C-alpha cells in the first residue's frame, strides 16, 4: 500500500483510544515526552460503559521518520487499543 505524500513540517492530530486507567494515560504521556514533545493529551469521549476513553493530542512533526516512530511507540503503549 502506498503511503500518502505529506509535506513536512506539519501539524498532526492523534486520536488515541485506550483503556480508561491512570497507567494507560501515563504510558501515553511518557511516549510523547520521550520523543521530545511537551503536549499533553486531553480526554474527550468516554465509552458507554466507561472502560475506554479517547485522547486527543495535536503536535507539530518535522519529518516522516518522527511520525512513523511516534505512531509505532504510541500503538505499542500498554492499554492503547486504536490509534487514529
Q: What's the pLDDT tens digit per position in 23-79?
A: 999 999 999 999 999 999 999 999 999 999 999 999 999 999 999 999 999 999 999
pTM: 0.91
How many angstroms separate the CA atoms of 6 and 49, rounded? 37
What is the predicted pLDDT for the residue at 3?
73
- Cβ(1)–Cβ(46) below 8 Å: no
Cell for 16? 488515541
- Model confidence at 8, pLDDT cuts 50, 70, 90, reads very high
Torsion, CA 53, CA 59, CA 65, CA 70, rounded to 10: -20
39-55 pLDDT tens trace: 999 999 999 999 999 99
Q: Would strands 52-61 and 42-46 be described as parallel, antiparallel, or unpaired?
A: antiparallel
What is the predicted pLDDT for the residue at 43?
96
Amino acid at each position: 500500500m502506498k503511503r500518502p505524500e505529506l509535506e513536512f513540517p506539519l501539524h498532526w492530530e492523534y486520536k488515541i483510544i485506550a483503556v480508561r486507567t491512570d497507567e494507560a494515560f501515563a504510558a501515553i504521556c511518557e511516549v510523547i515526552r520521550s520523543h521530545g514533545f511537551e503536549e499533553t493529551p486531553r480526554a474527550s469521549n468516554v465509552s458507554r460503559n466507561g472502560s475506554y476513553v479517547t485522547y486527543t493530542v495535536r503536535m507539530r512533526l518535522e519529518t516522516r521518520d518522527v511520525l512513523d516512530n511516534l505512531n509505532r511507540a504510541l500503538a505499542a503503549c500498554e492499554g492503547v487499543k486504536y490509534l487514529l
